[in-house]
Amino acid sequence: MTTKMKAALITGANKGIGFGLAKHLGLSGWQIIIGARNQHRAEKAIDELTSLGIKVLGWVSIELSDQAGLAQAAKEISEKYPELTLLVNNAGIPGDMSVDGLHTQMKDIHQTIDVNFIGTFYFTQQMIPLLTKNNGRIVNITVPSEISPYWHPLAYVASKAAQNAMMGVLAMEFQQQGTPLEIFSVHPGPTTTDLNGNMSLPGFHDIDTVGAKLSELINDGQNHQGEFIELYPIVKED
Ligand SMILES: NC(=O)c1ccc[n+]([C@@H]2O[C@H](COP(=O)([O-])OP(=O)(O)OC[C@H]3O[C@@H](n4cnc5c(N)ncnc54)[C@H](OP(=O)(O)O)[C@@H]3O)[C@@H](O)[C@H]2O)c1
C-alpha cells in the first residue's frame, strides 16, 4: 500500500459499521471522506468525528440506486480528493429479512441487488481510474457466499454473493493484468445496527468493536488481494 497521504472514502459512513470504521480509521490517522445520502446525516457524522479530533475532508452524496449520481460523485471525488487511496464499499440494505426464500417478492430481489451489487459495482468501476493511479485499495463489507444454516434471507445473501463475485473477479484481473490495485472483502459478523433492528444477542458486536477490528485489518500492512476475511462468524440466533 502507498505511504502517501492516507485518505479514505467510506460509503454509508453516517451510521452503523461505516461510522464505526470512519471513527477508528480516523483515530488511527486516516483522513476521512464520508459517503452519505443525506446532507443532514452526513453533517451529523462529521460533527461527531471532528469532535474526536478526526480529520474529515468532507462528504460526498452517494445514492447507490442512482447511476448518474454515482458517476457524478466519482467525478467530484477525483477533482476534490485526488489523493484518495482507499474506498470502502460499506453502504447496503437488508432487503426483507422476515420472509423465507420461496416467498421472496421480485421487487425485493430487484431492489436489494440493485443497491448492494449493481450500485456497488458501478460505483467501484467509476472509482477504479483514480484508485489505480494512487496504488489504492478497495474493501467490501459483506457476508459469506456460503449459505448459513442459521440465517439466509434470499435477496440479501444473493446480492452479497454477487458482490463477492465482483471482488473475486476484479482481484484476479488486477493480478493477471498487473493493475496496481488491491481488492478484498470483509465479513464483520453480526453487528448491532439499524440493518437488523439493532438486534443484540450473544455473538453480536457493537460498531465500536467492529470498527476498531476493521481498522486494525486495514492498517496491518499486509496485501489481502482477493481474500475473504471473516472478523466474526454468523451465529444461531435464539
Ligand atoms: N449489521 C450486520 O450485522 C452486518 C453483518 C454483515 C455485513 N453487514 C454489512 O455492513 C454494511 C453496513 O451495514 P450496517 O449494519 O452498518 O447498516 P446500517 O446501520 O443500516 O447502515 C447502512 C448504511 O448504508 C447506507 N445506505 C442504505 N441504502 C443506501 C443506498 N441506496 N445508497 C447509498 N447508501 C445507502 C445507509 O444510509 P442512510 O442512513 O441514508 O439510510 C447507511 O449509512 C452493509 O453492507 C451490510 O450488508 C452488516
Give the phi and the psi of residue 140 in degrees, each rounded to 5: -110, 130
Per-residue pLDDT of the chain (238 residues; tens, 9 = 90+): 444 559 999 999 999 999 999 999 999 999 999 999 999 999 999 999 999 999 999 999 999 999 999 999 999 999 999 999 999 999 999 999 999 999 999 999 999 999 999 999 999 999 999 999 999 999 999 999 999 999 999 999 999 999 999 999 999 999 999 999 999 999 999 999 999 999 999 999 999 999 999 999 999 999 999 999 999 998 887 6
| pTM of the complete model | 0.97
Residue 1: inside a domain: no
* Strand (E) or helix (H) holding 43: helix 39-51
Within 13 Å, how many C-alpha atoms sit on residue 34's CB side? 30
**44: its cell numbers:** 451529523
| Dist. CA 121–CA 123, nearest whole Å | 6
Domain membership of residue 223 as a residue range: 7-230
Residue 20: inside a domain: yes
Total structural domains within the chain: 1
CATH number at residue 20: 3.40.50.720
Residue 70: inside a domain: yes
Residue 238: inside a domain: no
Query: What separation in Å is there between the alpha carbon of 231 and the centre of ligand 1?
Result: 17
Give the pocket of ligand 1 (CB within 6 Å). 12, 14-18, 37-38, 41, 62-65, 90-93, 115, 141, 143, 187-188, 190-191, 193-196
The DSSP result for 114-137, as a single string, is IIIIIIHHHHHHHHHHHHHHTT-E
| Dist. CA 89–CA 93, nearest whole Å | 12
